[in-house]
């Protein structure tokens, strides 16, 4: 989001991303669907089935792209709208937070089933995930969830190199004031183990953070449990070059939402394929109210801020050209080149499909 990275506007821009869904006729049907119904799931399932059938035709990809195009244009509208509204809302939300005490107070809230589902299935799945994704931010002190932490200027993150330092405030971020932890209700089955882990789970900075990823290529389910952001690269085969830990990108609002809701969707529809799940989650994301989405935008903003404080020198670029999880090296660069080429080719193919 431009406003997120354009000096000073960031944080506020995040919540400004909320959509006036009612402007979108398509969205109307979704508005009241906070509790995603089985009907929707069935619908999605059938649509997925249809899609798979369609996929057998050459135009399948084009159709899918068309659907994506719809969503893209919606997102763009969304952004446009928000650009217009942002100045209005700028700060307004924080001055009068829609969810005071958030995220702690929001926890019991919109997705109770995601937290305390009685279904065995759900609990198993959630255990596999380890914890509630939003817990990644739990290490924040409560004040850090206040709309505009007095000690943490919201524009701080925007001025890289100016304010991006590990200040003493960080201790405030990660220390666990008894009161703060105490406010976390026992109902939080996803309570972060990282908060209870010893230093072994700490990031080299001594600060646990959820964006640190484990060594395996695919992220382990309990990565957030470990409170680790850094991929440690301990593959035995490749011990020639001591790889520096890979710092993953902070999760955006939608990713945070996905992490939270995935288990619920899986439990509801018994689908397991992430591609299908993500389609559902994409729809549900659009069906969320502004307030609900705002939570995740705010969380994402906090994530980014925290990430920047933890890794002042990190850039998304680190994981960009390296291609393979940020591991630098000629081979990986070559792989990245191939990958890039493949994608371009694929897109060209799709373009030709469309033109036919």
Handedness of CA 231, 232, 235, 239 (dihedral sign): positive
Nearer to DNA, 259 or 295 (CB): 259
| CA dist., res. 356 & res. 354, Å (int) | 5
Do residues 229 and 136 touch, judged by C-beta distance below 8 A?
A: no
Q: Do 233 and 245 form a contact (C-beta atoms < 8 A)?
A: yes
Q: Which of residues 100 and 312 has its CB atom nearest to DNA in the complex?
A: 312
CB of 179 to DNA, least distance (A): 29
Q: How far is the CB of 183 from DNA (least distance, A)?
A: 25
Smallest distance from DNA to CB 47, Å:
11
Q: Which residues sit opposite 133 in a β-bridge?
A: none
Choice between 134 and 281, CB closer to DNA: 281
Q: How far, in Å, CA of 11 to CA of 214, rounded?
A: 28
What's the sign of the alpha-carbon dihedral 37, 42, 45, 50?
A: negative
- Tell me the closest approach of the beta carbon of residue 239 to DNA, in angstroms: 15
Secondary structure in 3-state letters for 8-76:
CCHHHHHHHCCCCHHHCHHHHHHHCCCCCCHHHHHHHHHHHHHHHHHCCCCCHHHHHHHHHHHHHHHHH
- Measured from the CB atom, the residue of 142 and 232 that comes closer to DNA is 232
Q: How far is the CB of 208 from DNA (least distance, A)?
A: 15
How far does Cα 161 stand from its chain's mean position?
A: 25
* Closest among 149, 142, 133 to 210, alpha carbons compared: 133
CB-nearer residue toward DNA: 158 or 180 = 158
Sign of CA dihedral 70, 71, 72, 75: positive
Instruction: Provide the angle, in degrees to the nearest 10, between the axes of the packed helices 60-89 and 38-54.
Output: 140
Q: Which is nearer to DNA, 172 or 282 (CB)?
A: 282
CB of 93 to DNA, least distance (A): 14
Least distance from C-beta 109 to DNA, angstroms?
A: 20
Q: Which is nearer to DNA, 22 or 272 (CB)?
A: 272
Residue 189's contacts (CB-CB under 8 Å, 6 or more residues apart) are: 115, 116, 123, 126, 132
Q: Which of 180, 267 has the CB closer to DNA?
A: 267
The smaller minimum CB distance to DNA, of residues 188 and 246, is found at 246
Cβ of residue 78: shortest distance to DNA, in angstroms? 6
Smallest gap from Cβ 12 to DNA, in A, equals 11
- Quote the CA–CA distance of 296 and 103 in Å, as a whole number: 10
């Amino acid at each position: 989001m431009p406003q997120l990275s354009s000096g000073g506007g960031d944080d506020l821009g995040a919540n400004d991303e909320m959509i006036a869904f009612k402007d979108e006729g398509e969205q109307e049907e979704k508005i009241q669907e906070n509790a995603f119904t089985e009907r929707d799931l069935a619908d999605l399932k059938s649509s997925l089935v249809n899609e798979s059938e369609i996929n057998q035709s050459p135009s399948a990809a084009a159709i899918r792209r068309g659907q994506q195009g719809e969503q893209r244009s919606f997102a763009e509208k969304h952004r446009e709208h928000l650009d217009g509204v942002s100045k209005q809302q700028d700060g307004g939300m924080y001055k009068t937070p829609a969810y005071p005490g958030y995220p702690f107070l929001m926890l019991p809230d919109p997705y109770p089933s995601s937290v305390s589902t009685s279904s065995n299935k759900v609990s198993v799945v959630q255990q596999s995930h380890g914890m509630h994704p939003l817990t990644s931010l739990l290490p924040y002190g409560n004040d850090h969830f206040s709309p505009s932490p007095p000690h943490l200027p919201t524009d701080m993150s925007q001025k890289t190199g100016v304010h991006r330092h590990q200040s003493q405030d960080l201790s405030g971020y990660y220390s666990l004031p008894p009161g703060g932890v105490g406010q976390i209700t026992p109902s939080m089955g996803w309570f972060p183990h990282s908060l209870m882990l010893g230093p072994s789970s700490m990031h080299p900075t001594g600060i646990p953070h959820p964006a640190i990823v484990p060594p395996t290529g695919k992220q382990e389910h309990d990565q957030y449990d470990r409170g680790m952001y850094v991929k440690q690269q301990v593959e035995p085969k490749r011990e020639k070059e001591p790889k520096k830990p890979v710092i993953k990108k902070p999760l955006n609002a939608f990713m945070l939402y996905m992490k939270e809701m995935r288990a619920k969707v899986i439990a509801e529809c018994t689908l397991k394929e992430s591609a299908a799940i993500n389609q559902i989650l994409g729809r549900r994301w659009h069906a969320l109210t502004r307030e609900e989405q705002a939570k995740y935008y705010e969380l994402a903003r906090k994530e980014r801020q925290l990430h920047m404080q933890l890794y002042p020198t990190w850039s998304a670029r680190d994981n960009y050209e390296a291609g393979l999880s940020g591991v630098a090296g000629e081979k990986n660069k070559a792989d990245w080149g191939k990958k890039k080429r493949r994608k371009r080719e694929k897109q060209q193919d799709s373009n030709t499909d469309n033109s036919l």
